[in-house]
Chain A
């Protein structure tokens, strides 16, 4: 890591250990955590599934499942969890709970023996984000149903839980979370920007510790369920924050740190086309979601809602082509221009393309945060209704069942969305030039090669600015 300051202010290597506080460390090392949080979350999920099943095809804004998942959870994920706490959602996600339980045969205690199930290894050529990329894109084909119809939410969540369990029967540990889960991919991508990380504290202690218990497990906990090597991992991308490494490390050498947002973007390790395409797909989905949900065009809403088969197929075709081909295609042109401008003939175009794709992570996250503001501020007040009457049975548990629809700060929405885009644009270009220096060995080449990419990032930001405010 180069010793530079982000925006000329913050040392990129700055980090502050939160687990140095005894209470935090005690919680992280306890076997009750995150298990208790996970069980609580599972109980909420059971209510969500029940509400989804009972809710049928009614209006989603008065359904517990739809509101908690697509308004509250999604917004919390994009607005707080991922930007600040990396993949903390994975820590408490109930999807793999049943397969974990089945494999281990125990919920609380440690099974140091053989795990149940076939424990097969995931095919090597699929050890990347491609399955998650396609899975998430295909899932968004049904966004016009599951984000608004309770029963569709029930079917989607129920299918994911079932799939997680089936994959857990066949493949080892958290293979589902690593390579299949639709929610995992974009969290992994954007967690590279997160303002926190789990890492070892002292590299030397890990080097001297011959028995890598964080990977192999011991009587205190399981070897990394995410199949990582916590003693040397450098990026948040695939760390599901299950905290097993805190429990298995005999030297207390794992820590949870606050850090400079986006630090992982400069780690040149395991960069690939899969993650690059994930960044394009996420931008493409953000655009389609905005147009269909926050845009005024009824024709697009009809297409997404499948009022006609032709319209729906057109939506799928345009959505897929835009995310998988058009966005990457435009980016490829700018990458080519970057290579031309740099006048460097040795650097492969593929490397230019992949490296610069990581500049899309901050602005991509900013686009999603801005989108999420447009969801929660107008619609958040419905949550007060559904927590009092989760099954639409006329209950009034907390006295808020009749709380009227109340948009909050929606007059400021444009200002907030614009400011969000500008802040994340700043991060994108701050890391962008550093990525240019990593791509091109010579400073002058890096300067010249950076210009087309800066233009691309500016265009993307202006495009979304126009969508949100123009």
Chain B
């Protein structure tokens, strides 16, 4: 039974990963940075996609650093910055300004969502499982 479960898990993971890679696309995003937000503020890609980003500053110097991927660029007024990377980790990652641009700078962030957001679904399943298990054990309790 355990071996069967492992095989199923392996196959499902493999399908998700390889179909993701097989249908990998290239995405280009032009992200405009202005105190203290990005436009677009959320970008969604699929796992395996190649992501190219151009950062355009609309006021002062801004930067962009993507958590988990460690890639960074800066944009000065009139001088864009760019970088590219392969979105090989699923989940939601914050991208944040890497150049002090004003008082709210530490909170100038956006989200990169690499689908499928397995991390969120896994945690949500764990919560639901714990809740269900709690209900099960409590229903069995005797005075």
Question: What is A's interface to B at a CB cutoff of 8 Å?
Answer: 57-62, 144, 148-149, 292-298, 301, 305, 378-379, 382, 405, 407, 410-415, 418-419, 421-422, 425-426, 429, 433, 443, 447, 450-451, 454-455, 457-458, 461-462, 465-466, 469-470
Also in contact, A58 and B103, with CB within 8 A (given A298-B36, A458-B128)? yes
Q: Is the CB of A414 within 8 A of B91?
A: yes
Q: Is the CB of B41 within 8 A of A458?
A: no
Question: What is B's interface to A at a CB cutoff of 8 Å?
Answer: 34, 36-39, 41-42, 65, 67-70, 89, 91-94, 96, 98, 100-111, 117, 119-120, 123-124, 126-128, 130-131, 134-135, 138-139, 141-143
Q: Is the CB of A422 within 8 A of B127?
A: yes
Query: What is the CA–CA distance of A238 and B91 in the complex, to the nearest angstrom?
Result: 42
Also in contact, A62 and B100, with CB within 8 A (given A407-B67, A422-B130, A458-B131)? yes
Chain A hits for B98, CB < 8 A? 405
Query: What is the CA–CA distance of A421 and B68 in the complex, to the nearest angstrom?
Result: 20
Q: Is the CB of A296 within 8 A of B110?
A: yes
Chain A hits for B103, CB < 8 A? 57-60, 148-149
**Smallest Cβ distance from B114 to chain A, in angstroms?**
11
Q: Is the CB of B141 within 8 A of A429?
A: no
Chain B hits for A293, CB < 8 A? 106-107
Q: Is the CB of A469 within 8 A of B91?
A: yes
Q: Is the interface of B mostly helix, strand, loop or mixed?
A: mixed
**Smallest Cβ distance from A443 to chain B, in angstroms?**
5
Q: Is the interface of A mostly helix, strand, loop or mixed?
A: helix
Chain B hits for A418, CB < 8 A? 119-120, 123
Q: Is the CB of A426 within 8 A of B130?
A: yes
Query: What is the CA–CA distance of A144 and B107 in the complex, to the nearest angstrom?
Result: 10
**Smallest Cβ distance from A300 to chain B, in angstroms?**
9
Q: Is the CB of A297 within 8 A of B37?
A: yes
Q: Is the CB of A296 within 8 A of B36?
A: no
Q: List 14 A-B contacts (CB under 8 A).
A: A59-B100, A293-B106, A294-B107, A298-B39, A301-B37, A378-B96, A407-B96, A410-B94, A414-B92, A414-B119, A451-B135, A454-B131, A457-B131, A469-B117
Query: What is the CA–CA distance of A295 and B58 in the complex, to the nearest angstrom?
Result: 20
Also in contact, A454 and B135, with CB within 8 A (given A59-B103, A411-B68)? yes
**Smallest Cβ distance from A120 to chain B, in angstroms?**
41
**Smallest Cβ distance from A301 to chain B, in angstroms?**
5
Kindly identify which residue among B37, B39, B69, B139 contacts A411, using a CB–CB cutoff of 8 Å.
B69
Query: What is the CA–CA distance of A454 and B137 in the complex, to the nearest angstrom?
Result: 13
Chain A hits for B109, CB < 8 A? 294-296
Q: Is the CB of A296 within 8 A of B138?
A: no
Q: Is the CB of B134 within 8 A of A433?
A: yes
11 extra A-B contacts, CB within 8 A, seeds A149-B103, A407-B65, A458-B128: A59-B105, A296-B109, A305-B104, A379-B106, A410-B67, A422-B126, A450-B138, A455-B131, A465-B123, A469-B92, A470-B120
Chain A hits for B96, CB < 8 A? 378, 407
Q: Is the CB of B127 within 8 A of A415?
A: no
Also in contact, A59 and B120, with CB within 8 A (given A414-B91, A425-B127, A443-B143)? no
Q: Is the CB of B134 within 8 A of A429?
A: yes
